[in-house]
Structure 1
Amino acid sequence: MFIKILIGLAVVLAIFVVVVALQPSDFRIARTTTIAAPASAVFAQVNDFHKWEAWSPYDKIDPALKRTYSGAPTGVGAIYEWAGNKHVGEGKATITESRPNEWVQIRLDFLKPFAATNMAEFSLAPQGGQTAITWSMTGHNNFMFKAVGLFMNMDKMVGGQFEQGLAQLKTLVETAPAS
Structure 2
Amino acid sequence: MKFLKLLFFLLLIFLIGGAIYFASKDGHYDIKESKVIQVPASILYNTVNDYTTWEHWGPWKKEDSTMTFSYDAKTIGIGGGYSWDGEFPGSMKTTAVQENVAIEQDLTIVTPGGERFSKVGWEFTPTENGAVEVSWKVEGEHTLMDKVYFAFSGTDFEGDMRTMYISGLNGLETYVREKMEDHNVTIHGITEYGGGFYVYKTTSASNTNISAIMGESYSEINQFMKQKGISQSGMPFTIYNEMNPNGNIIMSNAIPVANAVEITEESTVLSGYLPRTKAVRVTLKGNYSYLGKAWADAMQYIQQYELIQSEQKPFEIYTNDPGDYPNPADWVTDIYIPIE
TM-score under structure 2 normalisation? 0.46
Q: Does 1:121 align with 2:124?
A: no
Code of the residue aligned with 1:161 in structure 2: it is M
CA 1:96–1:15 in structure 2 vs 1: closer, same or farther (change >3 Å)?
Answer: same
SS of equivalent residue, structure 2 residue 137: strand
Query: What's 1:75 paired with?
Result: 77
Deviation at 1:44, TM superposition (A): 1.4
Alpha-carbon contact 2:97-2:104 (below 8 Å) kept: yes
Shifted more, 163-172 versus 143-152: the winner is: 143-152
CA 1:146–1:78 in structure 2 vs 1: closer, same or farther (change >3 Å)?
Answer: same
Alpha-carbon contact 2:36-2:132 (below 8 Å) kept: yes
Shifted more, 18-27 versus 53-62: the winner is: 18-27
Alpha-carbon contact 1:72-1:78 (below 8 Å) kept: yes
CA-to-aligned-CA distance 1:48-85 (integer Å, 9 cap, x gap): 0001121100122334422111142311111101112x
SS of equivalent residue, structure 2 residue 84: strand
Q: 2:164 aligns with which of 161, 166, 170?
A: 161
Distance 1:10 1:70 in 2: 45
Distance 2:160 2:92 in 1: 20
CA-to-aligned-CA distance 1:89-126 (integer Å, 9 cap, x gap): 21211111111111111111223553122111111111
Which structure is larger by alpha-carbon Rg, 1 or 2? 2
Q: Does 1:39 align with 2:45?
A: no
Code of the residue aligned with 2:106 in structure 1: it is R
Distance 1:23 1:100 in 2: 38
Q: 1:26 aligns with which of 21, 25, 28?
A: 28
Alignment of 1:49-60 (within 5 A): 49-60=51-62
SS of equivalent residue, structure 1 residue 115: strand
Alpha-carbon contact 1:36-1:174 (below 8 Å) kept: no
Query: What's 1:139 paired with?
Result: 140
Code of the residue aligned with 1:173 in structure 2: it is V
Pairwise CA RMSD of aligned residues?
2.5
Q: 2:175 aligns with which of 165, 172, 177?
A: 172
Alpha-carbon contact 2:75-2:82 (below 8 Å) kept: no
Query: What's 1:100 paired with?
Result: 99
SS of equivalent residue, structure 1 residue 152: coil
Distance 2:174 2:136 in 1: 16
Query: What's 2:155 paired with?
Result: 152
Code of the residue aligned with 1:100 in structure 2: it is E
Shifted more, 139-148 versus 108-117: the winner is: 108-117
TM-score under structure 1 normalisation? 0.82
SS of equivalent residue, structure 2 residue 54: helix
SS of equivalent residue, structure 2 residue 78: coil
Query: Gaps spanning 5+ residues in structure 2: where?
Result: 182-326, 329-340
Shifted more, 60-69 versus 152-161: the winner is: 60-69
Code of the residue aligned with 1:171 in structure 2: it is T
Greater per-residue helix proportion: 1
Identity of aligned residues (%): 24
Code of the residue aligned with 2:140 in structure 1: it is G
CA 1:164–1:126 in structure 2 vs 1: closer, same or farther (change >3 Å)?
Answer: same
